[in-house]
Amino acid sequence: MAGGEAETVSGPVTGEAVALELRPAKLLSRGAAVLIDLAVTWLVFLLVMVGVLISTASLDEAAVAAVSVAVFLLVPVGGPIAVETLSHGRSLGKWACGLRVVREDGGPIRFRHALVRGAMAVVEILLTVGVVACVASLVSERGRRVGDVFAGALVVRERIPVARAPELAATEPWLAQQANGLDLSSVPDSLWLAVRQYLGRARQLDAQVAAGMAGRLAEELAVRTGVPVPTGVPAGSYLAAVAYERRERERRKAGALPRDVAEAEVPGGGAGAVPEARGVGEEISPAEGGGGGERRSGGQAGTGFVPPV
């Protein structure tokens, strides 16, 4: 069942194996954001037009018309595109309403996304007074207008509780020792995702439901590792210990722990131990060299021969 639960996650997943819950914005909140953006845009457009008309009073009508068209393209059309590009999808209206434009995979939009949305907004919002955009948002499952569909974008809500990765605390020494000997290489990422999601939401679930989920996840984890769950250990504690052990192994791989701690994993410093690096010219005894001849300066094996002066 844990594998089935993990497979239903279709959204983006963070590095901590937490699924991003992108909640599409509703039509009312999007409409409020659009009204704020339009009010600000047209206010700036009117101020710019007044300045242009005053500065071009000495020109003929054709020149004034050309300048007016250029200002219209730059302010009401180009302005929102520039704002969404520079702010990564968060205009003034969207900031006030807690919205943001993102890509379908949850990433920030780029200039091409803002350009397509802005070009389609001229038809959807300006020329049709928002009728086309409203109908498209009502028909779309995620409330997207035509410009969002063509741009591959989505307007989502930002002011929602963010799902965070659970903080994994150190477990009891004896339980940590049990998890230290497990082979976790065969555990799939989908199962790790299910375990981390359970650990993050266990306190929010009913006690009986949480116990059942923990038991099923622990059984599947035991099957993957080939080692049964220790007798008398609660399934939730076992999952937390294994998840903590996996995180510590990842940290050791990334070099987050001191070298002496990482080398302590090799029991007895036997064949698997890596000898300490020495500088050029330092001697290595036969015990350290694996029984070979004694190495001397320059890395040459000692033969007892002394060259003449």
Answer with the residue of higher pLDDT: 104 or 260. 104
Residue 7 has pLDDT above 70, yes or no: no
pTM surpassing 0.75? no
Report the distance separating Cα 241 and Cα 235, nearest Å: 10
Residue-averaged pLDDT of the chain: 74
User: Residue 86: what pLDDT?
Assistant: 92
Once rounded to an integer, what is the mean pLDDT over residues 77-102? Answer: 90
pLDDT tens sequence across 209-257: 888 888 888 888 888 888 888 788 888 888 888 888 888 888 877 765 4
Q: Are 77 and 70 in contact (CB under 8 A)?
A: no
Run of H or E including 103: strand 99-103
Confidence of residue 168 (pLDDT cuts 50, 70, 90): very low
User: Residue 172: what pLDDT?
Assistant: 63
Residue 175 has pLDDT above 50, yes or no: yes
